[in-house]
Structure 1
């Protein structure tokens, strides 16, 4: 909708609160059907403060803006901490293609960004050190080996003219990590697929079998979105030898790559489907490699157990578990998943996390430190801390560690000394938003990359002593599609749940006016051991839903993580009790306490466990309080849970096996007749064919019953997506359908002419009804 009238007025700023680098500001008055007033800093033309607006304005976050917004990786500083390197990728609906990732440098003093290269073959650029400008990267093609890649070296001061090829690698490798040895050589790690004999698997050169048959003698035949084969992930090591004089020296591959994982049956690293270079590390002196692997002696489908293995970089010895069942220093009764190995700066110690429970994927992670050369020494740090950290780095001096930890709806950074006792409480030094990555800077500061509900990418500095120091970059200030977003877009509140206080987010539409009313959009998260956090999502983005014309309420009920073990663990064998009660009480609290939220025309949506809960709500009284429901990849028939791949998950959450504890599985069964007879609310089902965690048959079963019961319903299926919808064109259709569905039944579609409609999609609807 075009504005009817626009005016710009330049005024002096209040000298007590001047915009950064400016003594003046502009006011833009835009008239639509009412008046919208925006104030922004002339030096930061995309940092808008909405003083009054209407939903559907040009500044609303639409699905198209979300999907085409630049997606940036973590900012990684060089040795001196003067600049940092990051990559960006962006999708275009004009060309229906994604631009290759391009690489940029951000000046850590001024925040100025400059492009380093837009060569589509460049990936995984990394600083070499100890020099300040040397770079190593993976070239995505190989001139000599089809399906292979190359390693190139360049200098950031003259990237294009200085670069040269240092190695030809025989397969598609990624996950580059490096260490410069005492002699000046570069020891590196990459990972890729391996044949059973340890040689690298190259898909382009592989022989296509005459038969497509698969034969299995053990469970775990498929995982996430892939059927398992005899190939496996493996970490490979190599060395780039320094050759020539000091002034004209070049690096070249010395010998061949060594597979550090092969040699022990059933070892695999990184562990799929989400394993990456965070599953392994190289010591700063280049001598040692640590990697995570599932326990090779246990069935993968029934246990979460995994160990940290240590192996020389040169592969001269076989990898050995430092915390396996037969390892001398293994802490007593600690048998769960291990993760995130990280060497200390002096290469003498190795930090890692491990869970205690052997079959609980959401058990609390505890920090351990192993001393190399002393097999019996594994120290436990902050054992009593009631949080579950998921990222760890040593500080530059090696006398303390920094932990990335989910805490009360945010991903924060905490610090603790390297000799912390069991009762030590790590100290938090960041707060708002969620940390994605962090790196040490000279002088004890940390360079942090994060996001928030209102920005997809932010880079700032912080320290344990000073907290957050300076924000260098925020995407909402420079990306046209994100302008108008800001920290005033959301709030939070707490209410009394079934047995404890429950924390919830509340997200406002653009131009929110509390004197008006907006339909409720009730957001239910997956997991179930997960949480809604103050972070950006390119899939379930709060603001995209809100900007259709809703107030989004996103509670963290029983089962949510980041609020302590008790809340997380209490969902075990209680899928439809405590969490459902928490949601009912949350809905009642919203109805009774927020005059600007219209619960009479509210809608609810959820995915994964959230999809199960929407299915459960459909057959229970809360379902009658909503005008429409959206269920994405949710379980429906209780007995079908045994078709999943990670059996440890259901056997933990339902207190045993399907045959010995079937009543537990059926206690919270949305497909029970007494629930089906209550089905009445219009419902959109989304279920993709490559979702092997929650097979598509559950979505088909629920759709069949809704149709037979005469409940308005629609099925959206993606044959090429897994548990998530990741392809941009599919994501657009997903948004068009889910938003169009709720807009039709909530009334938003009639009130907001810019709201998404079911008719917006070009995908035909199959309808054989008479």
Structure 2
């Protein structure tokens, strides 16, 4: 029987599993499974548990149509804490590892954020947003029955440039603080206060300190640093251990408490700087960068549009206090690596895949969350010494029974300056080498991100419609070293454009089944900018879809939540040089656009505000060009990845229909 290709609506049948957590004895695993409730048009997340030694399915541990996520084992392994929005906002709950009713620990009107267990298992530290005149005791408590209250209209007073952010909206005057709650008594404590944001990292093994990060610079608008602090739990004193010269996070303690590992950089190339592993020795009070000579990005920078609730745990220490494991992004893969204090680095799990989560028992057992182009999301156990993996879940097998997932072929081609660039070609569903197929070029956002060997629902849907899908990592992408990722800065629309067009030329020459007269292009964010740029500089594409795009760097400078500094970092210009900003703006070339262009944008996108789309649409319509504009209500920059499910489906359907109509 011939299977059908992937359809947009299949998104509603697929499940994502993420955030593996091994029990302290290494025998059980917790993870989060997320699906979509079509009736309520919402996401559902629940905890699942599985004994690694048993050949049985995972057992569902929480229930209901809510978001239950971020599980963490107690140090003794007898309890599980997690976050749930079942009462209307995110609160911390604790339950026995044997199951049963979960006990609610926090009761705040606006909810809480990240949390960690104390080493003795008696307290939990958590993040909460408070106004300067509020304390943990006076913060508004959650009402048992939340009623709609009339909001009094009042002016928003703005005195800082960083007054809004995509996803969170306008700043409400609160700062992220660190607080604690006693498991038995419910007694609350507050460890930080003031007009700075503190981000919870990890608790020292002896219980004396909590590692936190933050930027204490009073002039926040022009500060882009994050320091690491040791917060004394008893005295509440902060001791800064970094030098206010970079950005650091994912801080973890060695089991003996002597070392702190962190990921970060000194921002030599602004936001294009590779993140590296740093070690702070508390005995000698010295820093060392263990990966200074390794031209690889630490962490997971692979782009996807499917996984929900992914967590990069940072450096995972072994019990010997000397070696550790971590994720890194390299040549289309996010892989698991081994490292030690001597600076040795080796791959621990190196295949063509996307490892988007990992847990480690400190000895020889790990669990990894893996995605591949034809495998959306599953958990695997990993024996460190042998590299042997065993699949623990098959959450999408039933949904994919009648669907043909399209394989990909990786290749490299030579671009401008002799640069080697990686690309992939996804074959159309039910491929017949004797037929001719249209091709759609996909351009990723960032620009400092990476396409790779991961599941992409949009790609599979387009392949399911009988299209060849071409995706590549032009200069500016992560995964190919510091010089490569930095090469796009100051050159938007230059050699990055040449890389993309050379990828198309290479594919047309290598794959004879592509119809050169039926080409399409699409992308979002930076990929939207590049889609706009491409159709303003070539007529070879028969249709284009630009998503959450940038069209005008002059206005972007003032309207985006990151506009002024991102423009200065990336275009390397500001409002003192309007000519340069306009030169790099796709809107400047709108007279040359002949390609039918569909414009997709979220109404509440503060990263690339919708006025960018409005300008482009009006300019095109004024010249009677073929275009259409879809405005997605309440949607922000994350629409394609974690947005309203029905709007995600509407977006995918619009992309499919536009290409079907014009190519």
Q: Which residue of 2 aligns with 1:223?
A: 165
Q: Which residue of 2 aligns with 1:549?
A: 466
SS at match of 1:571: coil
Alignment of 1:293-308 (within 5 A): 293-300=214-221, 302-308=222-228
CA shift digits 1:588-638 (9 cap, x unpaired): 1111111111221111101111111111111112xx111100000111123
Evaluate the alpha carbon distance shift between residue 121 and residue 561 of structure 1 in structure 2; reply closer, same or farther with a 3 A threshold.
Answer: closer
1:395 aligns with 2:314: no
Evaluate the alpha carbon distance shift between residue 90 and residue 387 of structure 1 in structure 2; reply closer, same or farther with a 3 A threshold.
Answer: same
Q: Which residue of 2 aligns with 1:269?
A: 198
Cα distance in 2 for partners of 1:696, 1:536 equals 28
Cα distance in 2 for partners of 1:676, 1:148 equals 46
Evaluate the alpha carbon distance shift between residue 204 and residue 154 of structure 1 in structure 2; reply closer, same or farther with a 3 A threshold.
Answer: closer
Q: Which residue of 1 aligns with 2:305?
A: none
SS at match of 2:592: coil
Q: Which residue of 2 aligns with 1:252?
A: 185
Q: CA deviation at 1:227?
A: 1.1
Query: Paired residue for 1:689, among 587, 599, 603?
Result: 603
- Greater shift, 570-579 or 589-598, is seen at 589-598
Divergent runs of 4+, >6 A = 205-209
Evaluate the alpha carbon distance shift between residue 73 and residue 703 of structure 1 in structure 2; reply closer, same or farther with a 3 A threshold.
Answer: same
SS at match of 1:735: helix
1:114 aligns with 2:47: no
1:595 aligns with 2:515: no
1:319 aligns with 2:238: yes
- Greater shift, 730-739 or 125-134, is seen at 125-134
Q: Which residue of 2 aligns with 1:735?
A: 652
CA shift digits 1:288-311 (9 cap, x unpaired): 2112223524433x4421111210
Q: Which residue of 2 aligns with 1:711?
A: 625
Query: Paired residue for 1:102, among 32, 46, 55?
Result: 46
1:669 aligns with 2:585: yes
CA shift digits 1:293-352 (9 cap, x unpaired): 23524433x4421111210234x2222321144xxxxxxxxx222111111112222111
- Greater shift, 647-656 or 146-155, is seen at 146-155
Cα distance in 2 for partners of 1:139, 1:112 equals 24
Structure 2 unaligned residues grouped into runs of 5+: 300-313
Greater radius of gyration (CA): 1
Q: CA deviation at 1:537?
A: 4.2
Q: Which residue of 2 aligns with 1:642?
A: 557
- Answer whether contact 2:16 2:378 (CA < 8 A) is retained: no
Q: CA deviation at 1:101?
A: 2.5
Q: CA deviation at 1:580?
A: 0.8
Evaluate the alpha carbon distance shift between residue 555 and residue 204 of structure 1 in structure 2; reply closer, same or farther with a 3 A threshold.
Answer: same
CA shift digits 1:479-509 (9 cap, x unpaired): 41476456x7111111111120110011122
- Answer whether contact 1:304 1:648 (CA < 8 A) is retained: no
- Answer whether contact 1:415 1:426 (CA < 8 A) is retained: yes
SS at match of 1:671: helix
Evaluate the alpha carbon distance shift between residue 394 and residue 382 of structure 1 in structure 2; reply closer, same or farther with a 3 A threshold.
Answer: same
1:654 aligns with 2:571: yes
Query: Paired residue for 1:336, among 241, 246, 250?
Result: 246
Q: CA deviation at 1:134?
A: 2.9
Query: Paired residue for 1:195, among 104, 124, 131?
Result: 131
1:92 aligns with 2:37: yes
CA shift digits 1:130-149 (9 cap, x unpaired): 5444323446466xxx9684
Cα distance in 1 for partners of 2:631, 2:115 equals 36
- Answer whether contact 1:509 1:546 (CA < 8 A) is retained: yes
Evaluate the alpha carbon distance shift between residue 336 and residue 716 of structure 1 in structure 2; reply closer, same or farther with a 3 A threshold.
Answer: same
1:745 aligns with 2:662: yes
Cα distance in 1 for partners of 2:77, 2:501 equals 57
Structure 1 unaligned residues grouped into runs of 5+: 1-29, 31-35, 37-56, 241-250, 271-278, 326-334, 747-770
Cα distance in 2 for partners of 1:438, 1:385 equals 22
Cα distance in 1 for partners of 2:51, 2:486 equals 44
Evaluate the alpha carbon distance shift between residue 475 and residue 504 of structure 1 in structure 2; reply closer, same or farther with a 3 A threshold.
Answer: farther
Evaluate the alpha carbon distance shift between residue 78 and residue 147 of structure 1 in structure 2; reply closer, same or farther with a 3 A threshold.
Answer: closer
Alignment of 1:273-288 (within 5 A): 280-288=201-209
SS at match of 2:185: strand
Q: CA deviation at 1:711?
A: 1.5
- Answer whether contact 2:541 2:595 (CA < 8 A) is retained: yes
Q: TM-score, normalized by length of structure 2?
A: 0.89
Evaluate the alpha carbon distance shift between residue 417 and residue 555 of structure 1 in structure 2; reply closer, same or farther with a 3 A threshold.
Answer: same
1:531 aligns with 2:450: yes
Query: Paired residue for 1:511, among 430, 436, 446?
Result: 430
Q: Which residue of 2 aligns with 1:173?
A: 112
Q: TM-score, normalized by length of structure 1?
A: 0.77
Alignment of 1:596-611 (within 5 A): 596-611=513-528
Cα distance in 2 for partners of 1:290, 1:193 equals 18
Evaluate the alpha carbon distance shift between residue 483 and residue 442 of structure 1 in structure 2; reply closer, same or farther with a 3 A threshold.
Answer: farther
Q: Which residue of 2 aligns with 1:332?
A: none
Q: Which residue of 1 aligns with 2:310?
A: none
- Answer whether contact 1:405 1:413 (CA < 8 A) is retained: yes
Evaluate the alpha carbon distance shift between residue 64 and residue 85 of structure 1 in structure 2; reply closer, same or farther with a 3 A threshold.
Answer: same
SS at match of 1:579: helix
- Answer whether contact 1:429 1:467 (CA < 8 A) is retained: yes
- Greater shift, 124-133 or 611-620, is seen at 124-133
Q: CA deviation at 1:551?
A: 0.9
Q: CA deviation at 1:464?
A: 5.0
Higher relative contact order (CA 8 A, sep 6+): 2
- Greater shift, 710-719 or 165-174, is seen at 165-174
- Greater shift, 207-216 or 386-395, is seen at 207-216
Alignment of 1:181-580 (within 5 A): 181=120, 185-200=121-136, 201-202=139-140, 210-225=152-167, 226-240=169-183, 251-253=184-186, 255-258=187-190, 260-263=191-194, 265=195, 267-270=196-199, 280-300=201-221, 302-314=222-234, 316-325=235-244, 335-357=245-267, 360-372=270-282, 374=284, 376-390=285-299, 391-420=314-343, 424-441=344-361, 443-476=363-396, 478-481=397-400, 484=403, 489-499=407-417, 500-537=419-456, 541-580=458-497
Q: CA deviation at 1:123?
A: 2.9
- Answer whether contact 1:688 1:722 (CA < 8 A) is retained: yes
- Answer whether contact 2:22 2:30 (CA < 8 A) is retained: yes
